[in-house]
Structure 1
Amino acid sequence: MLQKGISVKGAKILILGFSFKENCPDVRNTSVINIYKELLEYETQPAICDPWVDKKEVEDYYGVHLLDIERIYEDKYDAIIAAVAHDCFKDLELQKLQSDNCVIFDCKSIWNKEVSDTRL
């Protein structure tokens, strides 16, 4: 983010996925909560979207509010993290989600290589 001139503090970051694995509602042992907490430590504004999981369960157990997939287009994000490879994320209109110089971290290689800034 810093290489693209994006201030980390206050950055809006969209995390796609919260479940333990793709196309599954199981949130037990999810490592995405660690990403979320780390981003909070850097004073970013992380938002999470996962249409597969029970929003109430996540709020009750983890204290995290999830965005509905329809609502993610209401904002522009400085960074987008593909944390879980749900099929529904493969066809997102990423350009409508990105702010100028948006960084895309494709942790699950769900998009073409040219789309992401870095991938695992």
Structure 2
Amino acid sequence: MIARSAYARYKAVTDRATAAIENLKTYEQEAAAGLTEAVAAAKAEVDAAQQAEAEMRDGVDQRWTSVVEALWGERWMSPGTFPQPDLTASPDRPVAEYARHVQRTFVDMHESLHKPKWGRRS
């Protein structure tokens, strides 16, 4: 058996270390790319949620303004203050479901204003 020189042993060790470094570099680059994609996807979800929240707030604000205007002639009824967001609302439910609830309530209120009133003749 031929003994390997110190140089050959050193070269073998450094070659393995270099290969390990290259493998680690490749792994970290792939992991970084995956994390970059995950962050981009999460940002897109946050942006969509913020857009949906803004649209919901605008819709509620428009309906609230309409309700206040509709109740202007009903001096006995005070609309109170602008409603605050329901912090118990489930984020798992679709925003459209909440929007339908807001719209139904809005329509019910307007329909009740157009019903005949006690003591009034049409």
TM-score interval, smaller chain = under 0.3
TM-score, normalised relative to structure 2: 0.20
TM-score, normalised relative to structure 1: 0.21
Structure having the larger proportion of residues in strand: 1
Q: Which has the higher contact order (CA 8 A, sep 6+)?
A: 1
Structure having the larger proportion of residues in helix: 2
